Structure formats: C-alpha cells, structure tokens
Amino acid sequence: MAFQKRTRPGARDDKKKKKGGLKLRKRKICRFCENHIKRVDYKDERMLSRFTNERGKIIPRRISGNCARHQRKLTTAIKRARVLAILAFESESFR
C-alpha cells in the first residue's frame, strides 16, 4: 500500500499555482545613451538634481533607468558637485 502525502491548504504547491499581480513594465532607457551625451558634467546643477531625491540621496540605477556606465559617471559627478558646493549634501529641511 502506497503512502500518500497529505497536503494542507496554503502549502507551497498552492502558491506556485497562483499567478496574480504580475505586470509587465516598459523598460527604462538611459537618458544619456538616448540623447548621445558623452560626458556627464558636474557643473550642470539642474541635470544632476534630477538624479537626487529631496533628501539629497543619489537615486539608484533601477529607479532612474541609467545604464551602469552612466550611473557610475553620474555618481562621480554628483560627489564632485557636492565637494565644490554646487549641490548640497542634504537639504535644509531635514537638518
């Protein structure tokens, strides 16, 4: 006589069967690659401020949509701008 495994409701097998909430999103394109920008300028405060949030943190690549090369250059440019006091390290309202 073969022994059958008893499954309880809510077991892992049941979770595998459910497919809900999966949405396909449009892939984000790197702005620098799209506009053929070769160099990220640390003096361009307006462009750099788009990639920092209101607290002054650098927005990660998965959210901004930059490629790895341009994200590294952007991070270096933001850090240079902070040292030269072009950008603030953190905003005034959070001090």
Mean of pLDDT over the chain = 84
What is the average per-residue pLDDT within 45-70? 94
Q: Quick check: pTM over 0.75?
A: no
Give percent of the chain above pLDDT 70: 77
Residue located via tokens 């394109």: 29
pLDDT at 71 over 90: yes
Domain extents in the chain:
27-94
**Structure-derived torsion over alpha carbons of residues 54, 63, 65, 26, reported in degrees to the nearest 10:** -130
**Would you say domain 27-94 falls under CATH 4.10.640.10?**
yes
Q: For position 10, what pLDDT does the model report?
A: 61
